[in-house]
Amino acid sequence: MSPVPDSPAPGAATSGPPAPDVTAAAVHDAADRIAGLLRAASGPGVRIPRSEWTVGEAAAHLALANRLMAGLAAGEAHGTYGDGTPGGLAAANTASLAAYPERDLDVLAEEIATSARAFTTAAAARPASAPAETPMGPMDLATFGSYLLTHILGHGYDIAVALRRPHMLTPANAALTVPFLRTAMPRVVNPRTASGHTACYRLRLRGAAAPPFAVTFTSGTVEVTDEPPRRPDVTITAEPVTFVLLALGRRTPVAAAARGGIVPTGRRPWLAPRFPGLFTAP
C-alpha cells in the first residue's frame, strides 16, 4: 500500500487544447513543489519504494534531466542520451548519476526549479511547432514541454511517496501529459507482450480537457490516432491521475480497477488490464 495519501491535490482541468503558458505554469508548480519537499527532507538517503534510487539520487537525476532538456529546448547540441528506448535511457541515467556526485538536497532543489524555468523560457522563445531533439527522439516543442512535465511529475511522485508527503499530480496537470504519452507509446511498445497482439483500444480521461484517442495494435504493431480506425474492442475510461500512474508504471491495473480509477466498456472489456503491460514505462 502506498505510504502517502493518494488523493490528488486540488486542481481542475479546463476545456480546449492546452496553451504553452498553461504547460509552463504546470512545470513551474510541479518543480517548485518538489523543491519544497527536498528542502524539508531529513536527508538524501531515504529509499524510494520499489526503486533502486534514494531521494538524493532521484533529485540529482531530475536536476540533470531538467538542465539537459532546457539546453535541448534552446536548440543546443548535447549529443545523444541513450538510444531513445527505455533500456537505453536507464543505462544513460546510471552513467550520468555516477558522473554527478551532488546529493545536497538544497542545492538540487534550486537546480530543479531553476532549470525547469530555463526550459520554459527557452521554449517560449520559439514556435510551439518547432522541432526538438529529445532523449526519446524528435518531437515538436509543445510535445517536448509535455514530456518535461511528465518526467517531473513521475519522479516527483516517487520523492513524495518516499518522504510520506502528498504528491503533486492533479487531474489538470495529468491531462497535460497526454501529448507526450501519445507520442511515446509507439516508441515504448514491449515486443514480448505485444507480439502478435491485435486489438483496438479507445482511451478517454474522465472529466479532463484531453480529447479521447485510439491505440490500435495489428499483429504487434501499434498506431495511435485521434479516432479509432474501426469499432473499438474496448473503451478505457480512466481517472486522469490514475492514467498517468499506470502509464509510468507506478500503479498496477488491478490496483487501479480496485480503486475505481479505470472503467472498461465495450465488447471485449477483459482486454483493459492487459493494456499497460503492452508497453515498457518510459
Q: Which helix (H) or strand (E) holds 31?
A: helix 20-40
pLDDT over 80 (residue 7):
no
Q: What is the DSSP code string of 172-236?
A: HHHHTTHHHHHHHGGGSB-HHHHTT--EEEEEEETT-SSPPEEEEEETTEEEEESS-SS--SEEE
Q: In the chain, where are the structural domains located?
A: 20-173, 188-278
pTM above 0.85, yes or no: yes
* CATH superfamily, with its number, for domain 188-278: SCP2 sterol-binding domain (3.30.1050.10)
Burial class (CB in 10 A: 0-12, 13-18, 19+), 273: middle
Per-residue model confidence as pLDDT tens digits over 51-72 = 999 999 999 999 999 999 999 9
Residue pair 194/222 in contact (Cβ under 8 Å)? The answer is yes
| 66 vs 147: CA distance, rounded Å | 11
Which residues have a Cβ under 8 Å from the Cβ of 227 and sit 6 or more positions away?
214
For residue 220, pLDDT over 80 is answered with yes
Q: Is the per-residue pLDDT at 83 higher than 90?
A: no
The CATH code belonging to domain 20-173 is: 1.20.120.450
The DSSP string of 53-77 is -BHHHHHHHHHHHHHHHHHHHTT--
- Give percent of the chain with pLDDT exceeding 90: 82
Query: Is the pLDDT score of 21 beyond 50?
Result: yes
pLDDT band at 23 (very low <50, low <70, confident <90, very high): very high
Per-residue pLDDT, averaged over 30-52, amounts to 97
Nearest to 197 by CA among 229, 168, 219: 219
Q: What is the mean pLDDT of the chain?
A: 91
Maximum alpha-carbon separation in the chain: 54
The grid coordinates of residue 90 equal 536507464
pLDDT of 24 strictly over 70: yes
Is residue 8 scored above 60 in pLDDT? Answer: no
User: How many residues belong to the chain?
Assistant: 282
Give the pLDDT of residue 17: 47
All three cell numbers of 236 = 478505457
Percent of the chain with pLDDT over 70: 93
Inform me whether the pLDDT recorded for 10 exceeds 60. Answer: no
